[in-house]
């Protein structure tokens, strides 16, 4: 026969620690933010949105203009400023991933003249990584 004794003294400290860690998620959010930016940069290489769907092709006139001006044919890449504009901010219990490019929003959401080419977004792979990072942090 054996016994396991659980009292408020031993569990209370553990619960306090867990509560404290859950209330301050900046650490795992910073780790996830870096991961997210890295994954988003890969999208520029593959020219796809967060779900893996290819970005809408450039119009022939746009390609012609880019070539004439000496820019690469890659979609959403002229000078590289949009890609470099990606960032994130982790505060409290929130994470914000963004592009501080003045024209990034037009690509993210599309316009009546330009198709949507989503840059920043959540997907299943990223969600699973977020859960993994937070679990690891909270249970540490």
Q: What is the pLDDT of residues 101-113, one digit of tens each?
A: 988 999 999 999 9
Q: Are strands 86-91 and 94-99 parallel, antiparallel or unpaired?
A: antiparallel
pLDDT in tens, 113-133: 999 999 999 999 999 999 999
pTM of structure: 0.81
User: What pLDDT sits at residue 25?
Assistant: 86
Mean of per-residue pLDDT scores for the chain: 89
User: What are the CA-CA distances from residue 43 to residues 7, 35, 71, 83 (Å)?
Assistant: 51, 13, 19, 10
């Amino acid at each position: 026969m054996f016994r396991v004794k659980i009292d408020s003294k031993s569990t209370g400290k553990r619960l306090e620690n867990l509560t404290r860690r859950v209330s301050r998620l900046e650490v795992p959010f910073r780790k996830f933010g870096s991961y997210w930016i890295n994954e988003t940069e890969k999208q520029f290489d593959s020219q796809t949105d967060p779900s893996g769907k290819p970005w809408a092709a450039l119009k022939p006139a746009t390609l012609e203009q880019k070539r004439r001006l000496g820019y690469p044919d890659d979609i959403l890449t002229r000078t590289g400023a949009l890609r470099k504009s990606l960032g994130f901010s982790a505060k409290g219990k929130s994470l914000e991933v963004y592009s501080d490019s003045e024209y990034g929003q037009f690509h993210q959401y599309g316009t009546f003249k330009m198709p949507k080419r989503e840059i920043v977004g959540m997907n299943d792979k990223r969600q699973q990584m977020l859960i993994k990072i937070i679990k690891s942090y909270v249970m540490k």
